[in-house]
Structure 1
Amino acid sequence: MRLSPVILGLLLALLFSSSLTAQTTLRVTDEAGEPLVGASVVRLPDSYVGLTDRQGEVLVSMGAGDTLEVSFLGYQTTLLAGTRVQGPTATVQLPAHPQGISLNIATVVGRRDETAADLPYQIQTISDEERRRVQSLTTADALSSLSGVYVQKSQLGAGSPVLRGFEANRVLLVVDGVRMNNAIYRNGHLQNAITVDPNALERIEVIYGAGALAYGSDALGGVVHFRTRQPRFRDGGGTSGYTTANLSSAAYAANLAGSVEYGGQHWAGVTNISFTRFGDLRAGGNRPANYGDFGLRNEYVVGDEVVTNDNPNRQVGSGYAQYNVLQKFRFRLRDQLELSTNLQFSTTGDVPRYDALAERRNGQLRWARWDYGPQTRALGSLRLDNRRATGLYDVATYLVAHQYVEEDRIQRRLGSPVTIQNLEDVGATTLQVDFAKGLSGRTDLRYGLDARYDRVTSTATPAEEATRYPSGGSSLLGGGAYVDLSHDLDSFWQLRGGIRYGYQQLRATFGAQDPIAWPADYLDGIVNPSDALTGALGLQYRRAGNQLRLLFAQGFRAPNVDDFAKFREQSGRVQVPNPDLGPERSNTLEAGYALTEGPLRLEFTAYATLLSDAVIRSTATLPDGLPYFVSRGDTLFVDTNVNAEKAWIYGFDAAFAWRLARRWELHSDVHWLRGRRRQLAPDGAYLTLPQDHIPPAYGRTGLRYLSGRWDAELRVNFQVRKQLDDYAVNGIEGSAQDGYTFELVGSADNPELTPFGEGTPGWWTLNGYANYRASERLALQLKVENALDRFYQPFASGIAAPGIDVGVGATWRW
């Protein structure tokens, strides 16, 4: 048989090219020599090679100056120099390194893409693989299952992260470097975290403690950074992607998602689409005998008819659906200059406010309908990364972004023909510029600035109804600048510190046709300026797997439109504006120790935060002096936000991971905190009372098994009891002479959502997870959560937790 000249030429070209770039079969195994199927191999910095096959092998082409990164879930990521990958075959063994706790993190985190080990903060990361392993269908559930973050829920379509006793607008949410917090992030409970698609994530980063230095306002408790998948350049072009599906029983939930990555040497893109549907959530049927009807959904409303529920454990009126789209592109404009575009869109159907639908007034259900209308978030951003060094910087990053957020509330009282709609639209524009410069071999300088402008439009129908926010419009304008310096004192000690200045101005204009007769200055427009100078100083010691941290950090949160200009009703009370509200500031001191090497790994952090001028809810009067407001026949008592004298929060986080045997790990973490504040009584005395948003002690303990294709875990989650005496006080009556009476209802701790007014009972659940890599392309997941079907309702939550929840999932990669 004769070869054509074309085929012969191709064969000669292939032979010649192989002589220039040697190809090696790389075999990846565990410490026992068993092949690891599906291990990821990347040629640094960002050239994806592939996954190992059933023999744990993948073909690589290496030059002597190249470096490979080899990683596999549950094992320590390993770097290979090109000199080690020569000849026809090469083998690398990965040490077992289960992800029980996040220690010795080697990835980059935060707004400025810094190595986590170089930051003096307590940091946790949640990888996409870990989230898929436990089948978290929302980002809030991923935080609750895989980090030290406590999560509160008022409805199934919710998830409000609590970091070190700070919640809602005291925790900064960030997606791909862009702040999500806007002018109407409230101080109660938020569901905005779930607008980020978990299927599009590369990882979640949790940075605990005051983060004002890098981020400015709102980062009192910490920062939750959602980092979506970044498309990778491909020297030879091509495409890859995945399809995933999950089903779970407790909420009859179904999730379907898919992603495609594509590109070439100078451009890359990724498209991600997902759909998730949740039915009505079923609570646990194994109830304490003394609970009576607490948490049962005995009745619900259809139209204006009260219907008996055949299954009271089924929380009728909790299901919803969510749709997400992500589109990202990267362009290599020239060497060391890169432009990225980021488009995200998330929307829902109507999301029922379950705790309101279950609310009773005089023994009767109060609401026929209470929905968050479609909750929509759209993001568009441009980012330019310039690594061409100049005298002013080595790396410069420019980011401009615009977000549109729609939050609608639709309500109808039982028996009323009137449906009330409150429509809130927010346009938020941000600009961020960050620079990094190496001043010497031991000193690095980082500096930057940022600016933001939020515009809020609030409307209501019928026209005579009150708008939630000022009917004449409101806005927030702010900005800041920072300087951050780090210096290596020697090979083991690092000192780091910096300062930030921030300024913000709010404007709110009320209408003459509002239900309340506002003073003239309210109609002209209230202006609320505030500024803050904050700093941080940290010291780190790292040697032989031991890490010590000492950090002092200041934070601040300037009031937003929701804080000082909101008009809303809840639990028989109405909140009114307080134009004199000032910013709250924090001073945090923390110390941490971590042992990151060896069969036993430890992590311990103790912290204490002093919060000055803390914003709290308190009883108040209308501008005309009345302590109540009559609305649709209901007498509503008046509250407002005020600055308390001070508050302090202290606690600790402790975790360990013990490698019992080559494939077994025991891990546990526990989180304990307390909070108190100084609150003004009617007689002028300051009383020391509980701070709000402080969850009881909680944690988890698990036993995990990893071997080749299998990853399985048995875990117990728990929360201890919180007494009603430890709940925040909403109002104080009386005097020291006659005795004080404390009003709890109306506080963010939701004391009305507890059995018999006794506080939050303790609980524990038994859970199991298994992940099986059937091939280099197919992975299967199984979970059984709350296996004993116990009934419980987490602290401050308005909906009971899922009963026994069996979930199955499959992911196909190509």
Structure 2
Amino acid sequence: MKSSTNIRGILFLLLLFPFHLAIAQKVYVLDAESEEGIGNVIVYNEDRSGTVITGIDGSCDLEIFKRTERLTFRHMGYLSFKATKAQILRQNSRVYLNVNPQQLEEVVMSISKWEQQKKDIPQKIASIDARSITFNNPQTSADLLQSSGKVYVQKSQLGGGSPMIRGFATNRLLLSVDGVRMNNAIFRGGNIQNVISIDPFTVKNTEVIFGPGSVIYGSDAIGGVMNFFTKKPMFASYSDKTFSGMATYRHATANNENTIHLDLNFGRKTWAFLSSITYNDFGDLQMGKNGPREYLRDSYVVTENNTDILRPNPNPRRQLPSGYNQLNLMQKISHKPNNSWEYDLNMHYSETSDYSRYDRLIRPNRDGTGLRSAEWFYGPQKWWLSNLQVYKKGRGKFYDGVKLTTAYQYFEESRNERNFANPIRYSTLEKLNALSANLDFENKKIGNFRMYYGAEYVFNQVASVGSQTDITDGSVSNSPSRYPDGAIWQTLAGYVNGEYKLKPNLTFLAGMRYSHVWTQADFDTTFYPFPFDETSLSNGALTGSLGFSWFPKADLQFTLNGSTGFRSPNIDDIGKVFDSEPGAVVVPNPDLEPEYAYNVELGVKKNFQDKLVLKGATYYTYLVDALVRRNFEFDGESEIIYNGELSRVQAIQNAAKAYVYGLELGLQAFLTDQWSLTANYTLTDGREEDQEGVDSPVRHVAPTFGDLHLLWKNQWLETDFFLNYNGELSFDDLAVSERNKPFLYAVDSNGNPYSPSWYTLNFRSRIKISNGLTTSLIVENMTNQLYRTYSSGISAPGFNLITGLSYKF
């Protein structure tokens, strides 16, 4: 009886074996970045005696092929992949395909907040996808933008990065994360570093709009918009549940960086969860060797027994103190009960350690014998974003899609400064709460006309306090705050945007938006006898855009776009009291109006048989009622005592008009299936004129810059040998405010400050050891050039070896 049972068991296993073998030969073909299944992939062997095609979920059965046969996976939108059947089965039966850039029909969301074909957009948009971000391996999101070759980035310290686009920067550019406006009421006209709060490891793609974007994004979107779309949780598509993740380690020699990252995804059919953590530890940055001696850090300040000492730097190329650390956390939860509804809860948190504002620590004192500051550092920069988004697809009466985005953000920052040999450290602390709600609709049912419309409400409230600490005894007392405590900034807006395809090769885009902004601030006269105790601003702005995209031939495109933008005064403009530069102090000015920009842009793109693509864009932007810092009188006085020093009074005023124009060129050449060439070149110029008719260069016009990349790749290895170039800005081309900061610049033959030209040679590579394990090797600044990007207070890294290891599971 027992023997009979064993025989039946053996027979059952023999019958079951082919079934298991068939299951084992089922493979899934997935997008290498999104890990979503790819349908209609053709799989064939070398003599094409056998062929199978993947289904909608990316699956197919390889049973007809022998284990030793070499198979090719081909899809028109992806690069081909080749491997033996045995290799594929050993790699967990997964095949990952990379997008073919020659065939990609790019979709963008930045113009309407809904998916649109990039070729139909008349405005220039630069897209940085997940694959490029992974390959470039940037330390911060500021570096992510700079790696595109189209955005210029200024740095006042290692913990910074202030983008410049078409002559505009800071609060004239808008940052957005997952559809939520990051700009707040205390974004300043000086260089800002809020972009580093965004973790590049969590960014799926970034879209940069060049030129005004106020129709969709409202105030501040004068020079451009930078949209960061972070990764989304993945639902289970080919099983009941899925679990995946990635662990990464990176090290860089120039600042002794140590970074660790981990993300985990768990998905079911209707629920998905994504968690991410990144920790960065950056040491003091080492500058290059070959360049202007003025950039060297010859001495620094140490404090011993409450006494400041100016000490020689044993290594003048080491920029100390400049190191800091940062923690980023992200949690996302998605629920998709059916094909019509989706709910997304997104939470981001970022916090830095204290970090020095390096450009303030290298300022000489008045007689040039030492340094002005003993301390100047930011306290922890904190950012919290909670974002709930609800999507509905379906045939509503007035829409085909509706999206509700609600968000709460918390910002915290502080500044701490103490002059050399002065025992008093002055500190200010700012906390800001921001609420926002966006309701966006898409209607694509009206023939060849698609309409997008919506409304937005934003509320900001600022808390600001000041204190001073005597370092000799630790006593703390009150001092002036940076902003009016409890100040409020809010806006309500509605917009409509339309896309009309007049012909298959001719698309028009037009839109308009009305925004109303209210600002309320009460001033504390305890420390300064302001001639006013409150201010209340209420102003509206109507902005619009009109443009077209035309393909006279399938391989030739022309675009023309006209648009307007505006920026309403915020709390930083009307209420700031701050030491803006040596010997000058900015005071509040409650009598401000919005500034407006008028822009026209012409673009052309020519495709030569998918082998060579040339792009060009030229533009002209005119800014009126520009908000600029100019000399001012406070209660009838042109100078006041601030932090114990007699300082010239300045204020933000509607005191200028400006124009900026430029040329942007791009090239893509696909030499072979493995070799390609890309290049970018940006030329910008601009002038501003004040109320007295004095003409001067615009502060945030970057020097001419460009890059050139020679790339080689196959399915396992990707390399990039590239050149970065930056032109010179002579003394005459420096803005007046920059001439007043000679310690940031090199010295020309006449003894005047100027920004020299520079170049770097660089190499990066990424090796795919297996489907899960990847390593990267990057060599930056191979010739060890000593340089500073324009307007920066800290020198760029010298020779820098970056190594990384990632494991995807």
TM bucket normalised to smaller: 0.7 to 0.9
Q: Which amino acid aligns with 1:688?
A: D
CA distance in 2, matches of 1:510, 1:707: 63
Match of 1:419 in 2: 425
Aligned match of 1:437 in 439, 443, 466? 443
Equivalent residues of 2:149, 2:680 under 8 A apart: no
Aligned residue identity for 1:729: V
Q: Which residue of 2 aligns with 1:490?
A: 503
Please state how far the C-alpha of 1:360 moved relative to its aligned partner.
1.5
Q: Is the 8 A contact 1:252 1:279 kept in 2?
A: yes
1:299 is aligned to: 300
Conservation of the 8 A alpha-carbon contact between 2:383 and 2:412: yes
1:559 to 546, 557, 569: 569
> Deviation per CA, 1:667-719, whole angstroms, max 9, x where unpaired?
211100111122123xxxx2332222001100111211112311111111111
Structure 2 letter corresponding to 1:148:
K
In structure 2, the partner of 1:84 is none
> Quick one: distance in 2 between partners of 1:334 and 1:9?
41
Gap runs ≥5 in structure 2:
1-5, 45-50, 61-71, 81-87, 469-476
1:533-612 superposed matches below 5 A: 533-542=542-551, 543-569=553-579, 570-596=581-607, 598-612=610-624
Is contact 1:774-1:780 (8 Å) kept? yes
Indicate the larger mover: 148-157 or 298-307.
298-307
Which of 637, 640, 649 matches 1:626? Answer: 637
In structure 1, what is the Cα distance between the partners aligned to 2:21 and 2:265?
31
Q: 1:641 aligns with which of 649, 652, 673?
A: 652
2: distance between equivalents of 1:745 and 1:785?
A: 30
* Cα distance between partner residues in 2 of 1:3 and 1:110: 67
Amino acid in structure 2 at the alignment position of 1:719: N
For residue 634 of structure 1, what is the amino acid of its counterpart?
Answer: E
1:336 aligns with 2:327: no
Whether contact under 8 Å (2:329, 2:348) holds in the other structure is yes
Aligned residue in 2 for 1:478 = 491
Answering whether residue 783 of structure 2 is matched by residue 788 of structure 1, we say: yes
Tell me the residue number matched to 1:77: 77
Correspondent of 2:456 among 442, 445, 450: 450
Give SS of 2:699's match: coil
* 8 Å Cα contact 2:585/2:642 also seen in 1: no
Specify the alignment match of 2:792 in structure 1.
797
CA distance in 2, matches of 1:341, 1:6: 52
CA contact (8 A) 2:29 2:54 kept: no
1:286 is aligned to 290
Please list, as runs of the form range in 1=range in 2, the aligned pairs for 1:302-341 lying within 5 A after superposition.
302-303=303-304, 304-341=308-345
Which amino acid is the alignment partner of residue 313 of structure 2?
N
Are 1:726 and 2:733 an aligned pair? yes
**Which of 503, 506, 509 pairs up with 2:516?**
503
TM-score, structure 2 as length reference: 0.87
Matched residues in 2 for 1:215 and 1:375: separation?
25
Structure 2 CA distance for partners of 1:5 and 1:768, relative to 1, 3 Å? same
> Residues 354 and 717 (structure 1 numbering): CA distance in 2 closer, same or farther, change over 3 Å?
same
Measured after TM superposition, the shift of residue 62 of structure 1 is: 4.8
- Distance in 1 (CA, whole Å) between partners of 2:99 and 2:277 is 34
- Structure 1 partner of 2:182: 180
1:175–1:152: structure 2 CA closer, same or farther, 3 Å change rule? same
Deviation at 1:508, TM superposition (A): 1.1
Deviations 1:489-536 (A, max 9, x none): 01110111011000001111111312x1012xx32x200112100111
- Compared CA separation, residues 169 and 103, structure 1 to 2 (3 A): farther
Assess if the C-alpha contact under 8 Å between 2:350 and 2:382 holds in 1: yes
Rounded to whole Å, the distance in 1 between the matches of 2:280 and 2:423 is 33
Distance of aligned partners of 1:356 and 1:726 in 2 relative to their CA distance in 1, 3 Å threshold: same
Deviation of 1:248 after TM superposition, in Å, equals 0.5
User: Is 1:260–2:269 an aligned residue pair?
Assistant: no
Q: CA deviation at 1:369?
A: 1.6
Change in Cα spacing, 1:9 to 1:500, as seen in structure 2 (3 Å) is farther
Larger deviation, residues 755-764 vs 348-357 = 755-764
Q: Match of 2:115, as an amino acid?
A: E
Mapped partners of 1:441, 1:44: distance in 2? 30
The residue number in structure 1 matching 2:242 is 238
Q: Against the structure 1 CA distance between its residues 580 and 13, is the aligned structure 2 distance closer, same or farther, given a 3 Å change threshold?
A: farther
- Cα separation, partners in 2 of 1:6 and 1:800, compared to 1, 3 Å: farther
Shift of 1:646: 1.9
Matching of residue 401 in structure 1 with residue 407 in structure 2: yes
Contact 1:68 1:79 in 2 (8 A): no
1:43-442 matched pairs, under 5 angstroms:
43=37, 62-63=54-55, 77-78=77-78, 97=100, 105-106=106-107, 108-109=109-110, 112-115=113-116, 116-235=118-237, 236-287=240-291, 291-303=292-304, 304-361=308-365, 362=367, 363-442=369-448
Contact 1:257 1:274 in 2 (8 A): yes
Cα pair 1:96 1:662 within 8 Å, conserved: no
In structure 2, which of residues 758, 770, 773 is the aligned counterpart of residue 775 of structure 1? 770
Contact 2:516/2:541 (<8 A) preserved: yes
Instruction: Indicate how the Cα distance of structure 1 residues 60 and 564 shifts in structure 2: closer, same or farther if over 3 A, else same.
Output: farther
Query: Given that residues 281 and 318 in structure 1 are in contact (C-alpha distance below 8 angstroms), is that contact kept between their aligned partners in structure 2?
Result: yes
Instruction: State yes or no: 1:811 paired with 2:790.
Output: no
Q: Are the counterparts in 1 of residues 107 and 115 from structure 2 also a CA contact under 8 Å? A: no
- Residues 298 and 498 of structure 1: CA distance in aligned 2, closer, same or farther (over 3 Å): same
Percent of pairs with identical residues? 32
Match of 1:31 in 2: none
Assess if the C-alpha contact under 8 Å between 2:340 and 2:392 holds in 1. yes
State the one-letter code of the partner of 1:770.
S
1:655 pairs with 2:663:
no
Post-superposition Cα deviations, 1:437-492, rounded to whole Å, max 9, x if no partner, equal: 1242311111000000000011011344221111x421101110001111110111
Change (3 A) 1:797 1:95: closer
Structure 1 pair 44/579, CA: closer, same or farther in 2 (3 Å)?
farther
Q: Quick check: 2:78–2:99 contact (8 Å CA) kept in 1? A: no
**Which amino acid counterpart does residue 727 of structure 1 have in structure 2?**
L
Alpha-carbon distance in structure 1 between the residues aligned to 2:201 and 2:298: 32
Q: Separation in 2 of the partners of 1:10 and 1:156?
A: 66
Look up the SS of the partner of 1:644 in the other structure: strand
> C-alpha distance in 1, partners of 2:610/2:361?
52
The offset of 1:332, in angstroms, is 1.2
Cα distance in structure 2, aligned partners of 1:302 and 1:577: 34
Cα–Cα, structure 1 residues 298 and 416, in superposed 2: closer, same or farther, change >3 Å?
closer
Contact kept in structure 2, 1:160 and 1:193, CA below 8 Å = yes
Q: What secondary structure is seen at the aligned counterpart in 2 of 1:563? A: helix
Q: C-alpha distance in 1, partners of 2:161/2:595? A: 24
**TM-aligned CA deviation for residue 254 of structure 1:** 1.1
Aligned residue identity for 1:350: D
Cα distance between partner residues in 2 of 1:175 and 1:93: 28
Q: Distance in 2 between matches of 1:230 and 1:114?
A: 16
Does structure 1 residue 759 correspond to structure 2 residue 772?
no
Residue type matched to 1:348 in 2? T
Indicate conservation of the 8 Å contact 2:254/2:799, yes or no: yes
Letter paired with 2:309: E
CA contact (8 A) 2:143 2:161 kept: yes
